[in-house]
């Protein structure tokens, strides 16, 4: 059977499907993406406000404006604003 699979090009589709299934199994979930984005935003915001904590609120406003222009949903904007306000409070302490 193995020789048949190698000699008939049409059998190669099964190998390609198997490879596709392996790739699909390794895709990050929506939750994974959310967590990674949350961590990245927290690190970037903390770094950006580390030396000038008084700029935190201005940076929050810039980020919110950018998200609104990009078409982020109302729920997404609420989540983002909540996270940014929390980070502003931490920066200002």
Residue 6, pLDDT above cutoff 70: no
Kindly report the length of the chain.
Answer: 93
Contact at 8 Å (CB) between 84 and 64? yes
Mean pLDDT of the chain: 84
pLDDT in tens, 16-60: 777 767 766 667 778 888 888 999 999 999 999 999 999 999 999
Domain ranges of the chain: 2-92
Integer-rounded Cα radius of gyration of the chain:
23
CA-to-CA distance for 81 and 88, rounded, in angstroms?
10
Residue 33: CB atoms within 10 A of its CB come to 11
Smallest CA-to-CA distance from 65 within 56, 76, 77 is with 77
């Amino acid at each position: 059977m193995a020789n048949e699979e190698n000699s008939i090009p049409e059998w190669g589709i099964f190998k390609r499907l198997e490879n596709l299934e392996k790739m699909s199994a390794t895709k990050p979930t929506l939750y994974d993406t959310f967590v990674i984005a949350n961590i990245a935003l927290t690190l970037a915001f903390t770094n950006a406000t580390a030396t000038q904590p008084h700029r935190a609120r201005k940076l929050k406003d810039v980020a919110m404006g950018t998200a609104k222009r990009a078409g982020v949903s109302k729920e997404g904007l609420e989540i983002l604003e909540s996270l940014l306000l929390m980070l502003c409070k931490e920066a200002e302490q």
